[in-house]
Amino acid sequence: MRPVNKVVVVLVAAVSVLILAEAVIGATTGAPSLGTATGSPVVEWVFRVAVLAMSAGLIVVMVSNAAVIDAGRRSRTVLRWTTITTTAAYTIFDTGWALLGPSAEALWLTNEDQTPWWLVPVNLLGWIGIAAPAALGATMLLQGDRSSAAWLLTAAVVVYLLTFWLLTSVGSAWASLAYSGVVTNLGLALLGTTPPESHRARTQETTAA
C-alpha cells in the first residue's frame, strides 16, 4: 500500500468512526436522534442492529472504493456506490421504523407520535450529505487534489457535528437537511468540474504523445 493510500484510509476511517460512534451511542443509550425509542424491545433491537450494520457498511464501501479509485476509476464510482448503499440502508431502516415504531418520541417527530412521511427522504439526504463528501474527499486526495480533499473531508465532519447538534438540541430535521444539502451540492458541483491537476496532467501527456 502506497503512503497516500494509508492517509486516505485513515481519513476515511476517521470520518466514518464519527458516524459509527453516533450509532453506537444511540444503540446503547436509546438516543432519540437515531430513532431507537420505538416502544417495543424486539423492534428496537432490530433497529439497533440495522443502524450499526448501515454504519459499518458505509465504512467498508468508502474504504474499498478509495482503493478502487487508485486503480484508475473516477470519483463517480465512489459517489455512486456510497449513494446506493446509503439509500438502500436508510430507506429500509426508516421505512421499517415508520411502519413498526408505535410511539417513537424522537425530537423531530410530530406531536401525534407518528413518523411523518418526509422523515425517510430527510434522513436519507442527511446521511448522503455526510457520506458523499467524505468519500469524494478520499477520492480527490487519491487523485492528487489535496485542496479539494481537505475542503470535502472538513465539510463531512462539520456537517456531522452540526446535524448531531441540531437534532439533539433544536430538534429540527429541516435544519439538518439544509446543512447536509449544501455539502451534498458542493460535492456534486466539484464532481462535475474539470479533472484534478494530476488527472489533467496525465491527459495532456497522453495527448502530446
84/44: higher pLDDT: 84
Per-residue pLDDT at 149: 75
Residues 6+ apart with CB under 8 A from 69: 75, 77, 78, 138, 139, 142, 143
Mean pLDDT throughout 148-172? 64
111/89: higher pLDDT: 89
End-to-end CA distance of the chain: 30
Total domains, the chain = 1
pLDDT band at 118 (very low <50, low <70, confident <90, very high): low
Per-residue pLDDT at 146: 78
Domain that holds residue 61: 3-208
Average pLDDT in the chain: 53
What whole-number distance in Å separates Cα of residue 83 and Cα of residue 207?
33
pLDDT in tens, 46-102: 555 555 555 555 555 555 555 444 444 555 565 666 656 555 555 555 555 545 444
Percent of the chain past pLDDT 90, that is, above it, reads 0
